[in-house]
């Protein structure tokens, strides 16, 4: 059976399912094709994010945080809790239940919006014809006036650390360990490595992260990255070995020997498990027939313009498979933009205000430029910071780690970047994103009233500090 659609979206991750819903809302006859199956073999929508990415990792981060907080920190507030322990099997069931709620929610939303959901592996045969192979190897062809590719990304494999059972694993494997590794090695101190390392360290693993680069979180502001490294090492005991390249790994029985090189010296250590978290590559292999002529860049990403249009007029590509940060919200907004432009609207995205968050403890979040980037671009700037320790609500929360820094243009005072390290950085950053989208100046933020006591006041105070008149911290002499 073949069917014609106005739009076929391939991939039901946060980029694809959002694009499909928005297309259907705008009156297009829309199908969304996805091949993902859960461990029981059932189709599961929501892509990497809902199944093996953002959502399960945040569920485990939340549980592990509650565990350590109850064990170590509640007594400081006068609450004595004895015999605190966790049951990993139940923790994993909780995580799976969160995933299930989300993924079935996506299925419900597609249905409610009249999107035809098709399960199977899609291949674009021509610019208007998509072949879908189901799990019994039956093939069906569908036709579409427009195709939106949203097929996401996969972890990069490492030749020096090949996956082996549940001993050498990728991020997906690391979300489902059935016991807490006594000693855990992680390759890569990027966002995923830090978050997974935090989970297992809080559950009791001795964690060592090997990072080939000399600099920690080079994409983040230097002060914030420094603050985070200090806090992670102090609070979780995670060792972050910078400038250290894993050169080999060999498994014997239930352990892995990791060989690494630092300053020209070769060493090795035994671990129970090794997580390979060295980045992700786009899923562009074998999804588009070469005769279509779709242009990829040298790293395999689909080439698109700022509106996510490819070199083929009716084919669009969004999310992790195109340039830009591999983040769920970036893909979702690209999906909305493509749908709306297909409907004749002039929707554009502001790629300069994509929020980034690392869900460690404290969390780290930023938007816009770092000082280093502005220096390189020769843009004059000024900064204002405020420490969480001077905020009443943070004190009451018993978490005063971190700071907030606002960077504004030296002459115009327009906010160019905001960088936060704090317990609630993922929530605080939204204020900065909104401010920057309305091209607010630090003076504008300083003139606004913020509820007291709230952690949000730190954004206000950092803006005042930039003006030289913060109230609750001593101002830097200019």
Told to judge if 164 belongs to the known catalytic residues of this protein, a careful annotator would answer no
Among the listed ranges 52-60, 134-142, 404-412, 446-454, the one in contact with ligand FAD (CB under 6 A) is 52-60
Q: Which is nearer to ligand FAD, 214 or 305 (CB)?
A: 305
Burial class of 112 by CB neighbour count within 10 A (0 to 12, 13 to 18, 19+): exposed
Q: Of 150, 144, 152, which Cα lies nearest the Cα of 8?
A: 144
Would you give the binding string for ligand FAD spanning residues 350-389, x where CB under 6 A is met?
A: ---------x------------------------------
One of 110, 328, 336, 407 touching ligand FAD (CB under 6 A): 328
47: contact with ligand FAD by CB under 6 A:
yes
Contacts for 456 with CB less than 8 Å, ≥ 6 apart? 428, 431, 450
Closest contact distance (angstroms) between CB of 29 and ligand FAD is 19
Site for ligand FAD in 158-217 (CB under 6 A): 171, 192
**What is the rounded (10 degree) CA torsion for 334, 340, 345, 349?**
-10
Q: Which is nearer to ligand FAD, 33 or 186 (CB)?
A: 33
Site for ligand FAD in 427-466 (CB under 6 A): none
Closest contact distance (angstroms) between CB of 155 and ligand FAD is 7
Which residues on adjacent β-strands are paired with residue 191? Answer: none
Q: Taking each helix axis as running N to C, give the angle between helix 88-112 and helix 54-68, from 0 to 180 degrees, rounded to the nearest 10.
A: 140
**Parallel, antiparallel, or unpaired: how do β-strands 139-149 and 315-317 relate?**
parallel
How many beta carbons lie within 10 A of that of residue 140, not counting itself? Answer: 14
**What is the rounded (10 degree) CA torsion for 92, 97, 100, 101?**
-150
DSSP H helices, 69-144, are: 88-112
One of 7, 12, 256, 445 touching ligand FAD (CB under 6 A): 12
What is the secondary structure of 373-426 as a DSSP string? HHHHHT--EEEEEEEGGG-HHHHHHT----EEEEEEETTT-BEEEEEEEETTHH
Angle at 436 between CA 319 and CA 433, to 5 degrees: 50
Site for ligand FAD in 265-324 (CB under 6 A): 283, 287, 319-320
One of 21, 98, 122, 433 touching ligand FAD (CB under 6 A): 122
CB 261 within 8 A of CB 245: yes
Q: Which is nearer to ligand FAD, 12 or 464 (CB)?
A: 12
Closest contact distance (angstroms) between CB of 148 and ligand FAD is 10
Q: Is the dihedral of CA 144, 150, 153, 154 positive or negative?
A: negative
Longest dimension (CA), the chain: 74
Among the listed ranges 149-157, 202-210, 215-223, 396-404, the one in contact with ligand FAD (CB under 6 A) is 149-157
CB 30 within 8 A of CB 10: no
Closest contact distance (angstroms) between CB of 473 and ligand FAD is 31
Q: Of 21, 12, 421, 42, which Cα lies nearest the Cα of 226?
A: 421
Residue in 452, 460, 469, 472 annotated catalytic: 452
CB 157 within 8 A of CB 276: yes
Q: Which is nearer to ligand FAD, 48 or 244 (CB)?
A: 48
Side-chain half-sphere of 95: how many Cα atoms within 13 Å?
Answer: 27
Q: Of 45, 32, 54, 69, which Cα lies nearest the Cα of 399?
A: 69
Among the listed ranges 31-39, 249-257, 369-377, 448-456, the one in contact with ligand FAD (CB under 6 A) is 31-39
Token pair 């609500």 is found at 393
One of 30, 117, 121, 431 touching ligand FAD (CB under 6 A): 121
Q: Which is nearer to ligand FAD, 135 or 267 (CB)?
A: 135
Closest contact distance (angstroms) between CB of 98 and ligand FAD is 13
Among the listed ranges 10-18, 337-345, 440-448, 468-476, the one in contact with ligand FAD (CB under 6 A) is 10-18
Q: Is the dihedral of CA 333, 338, 342, 344 positive or negative?
A: positive
Among the listed ranges 5-13, 103-111, 201-209, 377-385, the one in contact with ligand FAD (CB under 6 A) is 5-13
Site size for ligand FAD (CB under 6 A): 35
* Residues forming the site for ligand FAD (CB under 6 A): 10-16, 33-36, 47-49, 53-54, 57, 121-122, 150-153, 171, 192, 283, 287, 319-320, 326-329, 331, 359
| Active site members | 452
């Amino acid at each position: 059976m073949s069917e014609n659609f106005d739009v076929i979206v391939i991939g039901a991750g946060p980029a694809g399912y959002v694009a499909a819903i928005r297309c259907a809302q705008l009156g297009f006859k829309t199908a969304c094709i996805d091949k993902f199956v859960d461990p029981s073999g059932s189709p599961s929508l929501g892509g990497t994010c809902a199944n093996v990415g953002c959502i399960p990792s945040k569920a485990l981060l939340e549980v592990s945080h509650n565990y350590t907080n109850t064990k170590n920190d509640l007594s400081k507030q006068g609450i004595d809790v004895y015999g605190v322990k966790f049951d990993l099997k139940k923790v994993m069931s909780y995580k799976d239940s969160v995933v299930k709620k989300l993924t079935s929610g996506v299925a419900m939303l597609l249905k409610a919006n009249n999107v035809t959901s098709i399960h199977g592996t899609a291949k674009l045969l021509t610019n208007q014809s998509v072949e879908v192979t189901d799990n019994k190897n039956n093939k069906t062809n569908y036709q579409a006036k427009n195709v939106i590719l949203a097929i996401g990304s996969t972890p990069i494999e490492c030749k020096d650390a090949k996956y082996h059972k549940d001993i050498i694993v990728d991020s997906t494997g690391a979300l489902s360990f059935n016991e807490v590794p006594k000693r855990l090695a992680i390759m890569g101190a990027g966002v995923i490595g830090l978050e997974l390392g935090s989970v297992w360290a809080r559950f009791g693993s001795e964690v060592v992260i090997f990072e080939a680069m000399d600099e920690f979180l080079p994409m983040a502001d230097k002060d914030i990255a420094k603050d985070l490294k200090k806090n992670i090492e102090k609070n979780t005991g995670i060792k972050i070995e910078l400038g250290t390249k894993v050169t080999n790994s060999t498994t014997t029985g239930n352990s892995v020997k990791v060989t690494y090189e630092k300053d020209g010296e070769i060493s090795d250590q035994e671990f129970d498990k090794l997580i390979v978290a060295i980045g992700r590559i786009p899923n562009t292999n074998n999804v588009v027939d070469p005769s279509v002529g779709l242009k990829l860049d040298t790293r395999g990403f689909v080439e698109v313009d700022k509106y996510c249009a490819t070199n083929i007029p009716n084919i669009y590509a969004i999310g992790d498979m195109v340039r830009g940060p591999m983040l769920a919200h970036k893909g979702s907004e690209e999906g909305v933009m493509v749908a709306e432009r297909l409907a004749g609207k002039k929707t554009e995205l502001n790629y300069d205000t994509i929020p980034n968050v690392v869900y460690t403890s404290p969390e780290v979040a930023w938007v816009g430029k770092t000082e280093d980037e502005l220096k390189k671009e020769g843009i004059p700037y000024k900064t204002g910071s405020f420490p969480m320790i001077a905020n009443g609500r943070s004190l009451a929360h018993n978490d005063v780690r971190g700071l907030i820094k606002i960077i504004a243009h030296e002459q115009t005072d327009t906010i160019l970047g905001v960088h936060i390290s704090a317990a609630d950085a993922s929530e605080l950053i939204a204020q900065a994103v909104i401010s920057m989208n309305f091209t607010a100046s630090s003076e504008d933020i300083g003139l606004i009233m913020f509820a007291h006591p709230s952690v949000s006041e730190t954004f206000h105070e950092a803006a005042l500090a930039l003006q030289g008149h913060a109230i609750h911290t001593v101002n830097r002499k200019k």
